[in-house]
Amino acid sequence: MKFPKFEDLILFENDNLIVVNKPAFLSSLDDREGGDNNLLRMAKHYSDDAQICHRLDRETSGVLIIAKNPETYRHVSMQFEHRKVNKVYHAVINGTHAFEELHVDLPILNLGAKNVAINKQEGKPAETVFNSIKFYKHYTLVECKPITGRMHQIRIHLASQRANIAGDEMYGGKTVYLSEIKRGYRIGKDQEELPIMKRFALHARCITFKIDEFTEMTFEAPYPKDFATLIKLLDKFDS
């Protein structure tokens, strides 16, 4: 898969760090299998000592922090450790759900091989706050604010509320097809309809943290083309 140049992903840069808008289907770090390109390799080609400060799932797009030196990496990592970094994600979920400061506090157990489960006995603490942004006939655009940073946290917490992310088959989400929302839509006899998005509809929208000891900043990542198209079609045919 072809990705944009690293320079084209940059939302902000100074002497110590880079904030990028990660494309979907680009891994944050090296996968065990190796071989494929990833954001860390791209960053190191751009800046030798680059380190990824946190990670996003491969299919998740959005804002991500990269440190250019060990001091900045420590500075940002400590903010994550002490929960001083505020992250906001946007997700399109199946069904109509009116969430108003819904606080989901369900421990998550990492089962290995990129699988997790809700487990109140053995899981690690995991908290997310959800707010509905926009309602459609069959979907809802939701703001997700993770307080902790467990693997698949937003995805499994939404699934626990029967509010699965559209296209997230691992957690029971149904893929969005135009034929399901556009009245009178017909596909050719021998054609196979493709989904509007070829991934689950989750985007890391913005992040707020201290770029140095004194300066707090917020960075917002615009929706990528596939997410923006989904919202546009829902606005047109499912509102």
Q: Lowest-confidence range among 5-19, 179-193, 223-237?
A: 179-193
- The pLDDT, as a whole number, for residue 190 is 83
- The pLDDT, as a whole number, for residue 136 is 98
Residue 181 domain-assigned (yes or no): yes
Which CATH number does the domain housing residue 154 bear? 3.30.2350.10
- Using DSSP's 3-state secondary structure scheme, residue 208 falls into strand
Banded pLDDT at 16 (limits 50, 70, 90)? very high
- Using DSSP's 3-state secondary structure scheme, residue 122 falls into coil
- The pLDDT, as a whole number, for residue 177 is 96
**Residues of 14-24 as b/e, b for ≥16 C-beta within 10 angstroms?**
eeebbbbbbbb
226 is catalytic: no
Task: List pLDDT tens digits, range 51-71.
Answer: 999 999 999 999 999 999 999
Please enumerate in sequence order all residues whose Cβ is within 8 A of that of 91, keeping only pairs 6 or more positions apart, or say none. Answer: 141, 142, 144, 154, 158, 165, 166, 201, 202, 203
Residue 65 domain-assigned (yes or no): yes
Residue 170 domain-assigned (yes or no): yes
* Mean pLDDT, the chain, whole residue set: 95
- In the chain, how many domains are there? 1
- The pLDDT, as a whole number, for residue 37 is 87
- The pLDDT, as a whole number, for residue 156 is 98
Backbone angles phi, psi at 170, to 5 degrees: -60, -35
| 33 has pLDDT over 60 | no
| 35 has pLDDT over 70 | no
Task: List pLDDT tens digits, range 133-176.
Answer: 999 999 999 999 999 999 999 999 999 999 999 999 999 999 99
Task: List pLDDT tens digits, range 72-131.
Answer: 999 999 999 999 999 999 999 999 999 999 999 999 999 988 889 999 999 999 999 999
Residue 137 domain-assigned (yes or no): yes
**Residues of 87-118 as b/e, b for ≥16 C-beta within 10 angstroms?**
bbbbbbbbeebebeebebebbbbbeeeeebee
Question: Average pLDDT in the 37-50 region?
Answer: 96
- The pLDDT, as a whole number, for residue 31 is 65
Residue 138 domain-assigned (yes or no): yes
| 36 has pLDDT over 80 | no
Residue 108 domain-assigned (yes or no): yes
Residue 1 domain-assigned (yes or no): no
Backbone angles phi, psi at 40, to 5 degrees: -60, -45
Cα-based angle 223, 65, 68 (whole degrees, multiple of 5): 140
* Domain extent at residue 43: 6-237
| 34 has pLDDT over 60 | no
CA-CA distance, 155 to 62, in Å (whole number)? 15
Say which of 15, 30, 49, 57 is annotated catalytic: 57
Task: List pLDDT tens digits, range 131-142.
Answer: 999 999 999 999
